Amino acid sequence: MGPRRYTYLPISQDCLKTKIEQTKNLLEKLQLIKTFIPSPICITAGEITHCFATYLQYRRTSFFRVVPGTPPGIFGLRTRTVNRKYDRKTEQARLRQPILETMRMQQNPSLLALDTVFNKAAQLATLTLDAGQTKELLEEENWEWYEPGLFYPVRIGEVFKSRYQVIGKLGYGSRSTAWLCRDLNGHKYVTLKVCERETASIRREMAAYDHLSTIMMRKEGALLIRELLDTFKLQGSQGEHHCFVHEPLGMSMETLRRLCPGHKLTEELLKLFLIHLFLALDFLHTDAKMIHADLQAMNVHLRIEDESILRYFEESEMSDPSPRKVYGDRVIYESRGLRAPKSSGRPVLCDFDTYTGDIQPYVYRAPEVILGIPWTYSVDIWNVGVMIWDIFENKHLFNAQDGNGESLSLYHLAEMVAILGPPPLDYLRRSRTPSAYTKNSLECFDDAESSEENLEGENKILFLKFIRKMLRWVPEERHSAKQLLEDPWLRS
């Protein structure tokens, strides 16, 4: 089979030089081009410069052969130069057009990728922040402990493990960043969590998933725990970074709460959320023998049933690239949220990186954690009881600080006394420092009855009884997740 024939308008040497100069200036601003490659083809700025010169060269060619699958910059062209007259006005008009407007090569995906790059280049340049020209902190830079080598420099368009291609940034946390990826083997979307340099917290999370993988996941509660699909490590400039591959999930319960009127879940939504959460905790406590120890609304996400929101995310990143900040060879991207789905699946419990040592969000701490008493599964139950106040009342049940921000633990315990009454002396004696927490040192504050504002009558009484089953001084007296599933208020 002979070479295919393509015909292009001739282009002058002056225009070629102008185009090349324009592109070089643009590349200096971009520093990263491979963002827009829609297939697993990685292109560096240096390669793109060579590719562009090559492209301008074969724009003046009438015959060449396209080698399928050849990466950009090595097109395998067989050329024959054609000398033609050209109109200067036409050439100047062409200079003002998109760079690849006249190029149509459907046979070669590498050239299509190149087409996408240059059509989006100018747009990306306006979105790219030069770190040397701005002091504005972006995303993970806002953490006090941030340093360039702490987080792995993921780039949109990269392919990890010859399988997972990065589409866009979903979000970031104190110890990791999250990315939507395409599984090139399974032809599906996945979420990639890229952790900071290896720490004890990350090792605990890995151990938790290893343990969960050994358990027969047959109970209903097991289906409400986020599954680990794959794991691997990346070598960064200052150490290794663990990567966790999960199914993509939708908005968190915290996001859902903020979307509700008054930033409060309705009673029906709250009950549905709690039923699924207690099913998940019953599986963790009874079958897996694990404690979550970091229960909060942002760690519970809704499953995605409407996959179109993932396709929309990918298309949006291609047509309207996320802003990013460039630090030499490092890039920090701004996260892009998923749009609201037409329908959502069941809640799923996530994040298992903190189940020993310093546990629980500060205002959710159980009294035994404050007092230094050995803790067990019941800390999760206390955690849920306090969290309910946040998502149903839109305020903390305990603020854990005085007006001066001092004596936080003592003040926190004093707030508990207002709700629960004074702690039993036998319970206080379990503490490592019992003399620091006496009944006389714990002032009283407003009680829970006056703080609850959403319910009335018998329903309010049942709700407060339900809360008190979780908020008890003595851990052994708190109800289990399985018992709470049968509570009259929850089942009403």
pLDDT tens digit sequence for 108-123: 444 444 444 444 544 4
**Confidence (pLDDT) at 355:** 46
How far, in Å, CA of 75 to CA of 194, rounded?
Answer: 34
How far, in Å, CA of 29 to CA of 189, rounded?
Answer: 31
pLDDT band (50, 70, 90) for residue 141: confident
Within 255-372, strands assigned E span 300-304, 324-327, 330-333, 344-349
pLDDT tens by residue, 282-328: 999 999 999 998 899 999 999 998 899 999 999 999 988 988 888 77
**Confidence (pLDDT) at 33:** 39
Rg of the chain over Cα atoms, rounded to whole angstroms, equals: 29
pLDDT tens by residue, 154-205: 999 999 999 999 999 999 888 899 999 999 998 899 999 999 887 778 888 8
Percent of the chain predicted with pLDDT > 90? 34
Tell me 285's DSSP state.
Answer: I
Any idea which of 143-152, 156-165, 311-320, 458-467 has the lowest mean pLDDT?
143-152
Residue 321 half-sphere exposure toward CB, CA atoms < 13 A: 27
- Domain ranges within the chain, ordered by starting residue: 13-130
What are 132's two structure tokens?
Answer: 């040397």
Give the residue from 305, 315, 164, 158 showing the smallest Cα distance to 246: 164
pLDDT at 367 over 60: yes
- Asked if residue 428 lies in contact with residue 416, where contact means CB atoms within 8 angstroms, the answer is no
Question: What mean pLDDT is predicted for residues 266-287?
Answer: 94
pLDDT at 230 over 60: yes
pLDDT tens by residue, 347-356: 999 987 654 4
**Reported pTM:** 0.69
How far, in Å, CA of 20 to CA of 30, rounded?
Answer: 15
Within 78-229, strands assigned E span 128-130, 159-160, 164-172, 176-183, 188-197
**Confidence (pLDDT) at 22:** 63
Helix (H) or strand (E) holding 182: strand 176-183
**Confidence (pLDDT) at 485:** 96
CB neighbour class for 180 (10 Å; exposed up to 12, middle 13-18, buried from 19)? buried
129: which strand partners?
Answer: 325
**Confidence (pLDDT) at 275:** 95
Which residue among 115, 294, 353, 487 is the active-site one?
A: 294
Q: Which residues contact 401 (CB under 8 A, 6 or more apart)?
A: 408, 411, 412
**210 assigned to active site:** no
Q: Which residues contact 287 (CB under 8 A, 6 or more apart)?
A: 215, 219, 221, 222
